[in-house]
Amino acid sequence: MPVFQYKGFDSKGKPVSGVKDADSPRGLRAALRRDGVLLTDVREAPMAGGSAAGASKGRSQEGARRRSSGGIDIGAVKSTLSPLAWLQWLSERGDANPQMVAILTRQLATLLRAGVQLSEALAALIEQAERPGLKRVLSDVKVQVNEGMALSQALGRHPRIFIELYTNLVSAGEAAGNLEAVLFRLADFLEAQNKLRSKVVTALFYPAAMTLMGSGIMAILMQSVVPKVTALYADNGRVLPWNTQLLIFMSSLLTDWWWLVLPCLFAVVYLIRRWLRTPQGRLKWDQILLRLPIFGPLARMVAVSRFAKTLATMLASGVQLLRAMEIVKNVLGNMVLTRVVEEARESIREGESIAQPLRRSNQFPAVVCHMIAVGERSGQLEQMLENVAAAYDIEVDMKLARMTALLEPLMIMLMSSAVGFVVFSILMPIMQMNEFAQ
């Protein structure tokens, strides 16, 4: 019976290694899995009577594999890498795709649940990497894992891609010995977040496109059409209506002073962005956003849904409540609600429940606080939080649908009003001249 050398993690997440006989690597994995050991690397142990020629042949084959892969040990590269390393290189290049994280996470979870070794499963994912930069990142994670570092710690070396939420969930899965289940839960969470983000972006795309198109049309009218028409009024000597004077002023500003208008516009945008980067500016902006008539309730619903879904995912994966609250506050995207969660975390540390500080803040809806309180009393907090997230996802969908339906006629009315103002301002002096002529 063959003898194999193996490396892996025990049920407490500590690295282990040893030698064991088995019919095949898969059989070894099944046997060790019953003992609570999750394998990361398996190789057949050399026989005691092995010849030097056999060893030399093995080294020659190893060298051939290295030469054929450009000096990279393909067998080592395939051993133990997370699929989310895809995102490290993509994000550094500025073209990261969050949906890729969810897809690769689900692929890894599916392979592990099917009984495939972690090294083989990750090897199947790393073969999808076609860009050299991505292979280098994956190789870095692989080296760290092969040296005994936990998978979560290896992923944590790339915090721009492997966010704290992800690495903590992976760490909890490794410690509990249910990495596959945690990866499936994490994939569901990432897909839900991507879906919600996509809905919001889609709803805002139409008004943004209409605004850009309307601005372009108005710029053309102001620079090309209006100066030629209003030149007819220059020698008339009559006092022009206020709207015509405003139109001429705006046209002159864009035509003669564009070199000054553009730098000022860029300077204003830069100052606003810089102000928003400060804690005071971001807090003030988020306060204003939550008070807006239409977008305020929508932004609050999105943040509450993200809070409930993230906290439920982390608690169900075995992350401690205080640690989960520390991470959740960084994914809300709103400074006002972030401070509320931070204050709630301190209150929980002092012995309070989750619902009490959230209710005192008056920032979380009363029904959400009530459902959280019921979940705490019944011992089903994770399920109650998932119900809150599901309910708010449905409400966000409904509000986005209504907002999109209202924005279309609203944008048409705004564009029609702008064009109508230009046409009316041009025709009004002509009509007045005709009246005086009669």
Say what the pLDDT of residue 285 is: 92
Q: What is the pTM of this model?
A: 0.62
The number of angstroms, rounded, from the C-alpha of 46 to the middle of its chain's C-alpha atoms is 46
What pLDDT does 268 receive? 93
Closest by Cα among 72, 48, 50, 52 to 62:
72
CA dist., res. 165 & res. 317, Å (int) = 11
Strand partners, 55: none
Burial, 273: exposed, middle or buried (Cβ in 10 Å; 0-12, 13-18, 19+)? exposed
The reported pLDDT for the residue numbered 130 is 63
Size of the chain in residues:
438
pLDDT at 216: 83
Spatial contact of 169 and 323, defined as CB atoms under 8 Å apart: no
Note the pLDDT tens digit of each residue in 284-331: 999 999 998 878 888 898 889 889 988 888 888 888 888 888 888 888
Question: Can you list the residues of the chain whose pLDDT is less than 50?
Answer: 47-96
In this predicted structure, what is the pLDDT of residue 44? Answer: 73
Distance between CA 345 and CA 352 in Å, rounded? 9
Give the whole-angstrom CA distance, residue 176 versus residue 75.
Answer: 29
Task: Establish whether domains 85-162 and 193-438 are of one fold.
Answer: yes
Is residue 114 exposed (0-12), middle (13-18) or buried (19+ Cβ within 10 Å)? exposed
Are 335 and 341 a contacting pair, CB within 8 Å?
A: no
Which residues face 5 on adjacent strands? 19, 43
Tokens describing residue 192: 């839900």
Distance CA 255, CA 261 (A): 10
Q: Give the type of residue at 290.
A: L
Summarize pLDDT for 372-425 with one digit per residue, the tens. Answer: 999 988 888 888 998 998 888 888 888 888 877 787 788 888 888 888 888 888
Element (H, E) at 349: helix 335-349
Is the Cα dihedral 324, 330, 333, 335 positive or negative?
positive
- Give the right CATH number for 85-162 from 2.40.50.500, 1.10.10.10, 1.20.81.30, 1.10.3720.10: 1.20.81.30
Residue-range domain boundaries for the chain:
1-45, 85-162, 193-438
Domain covering 193-438: architecture? Up-down Bundle (1.20)
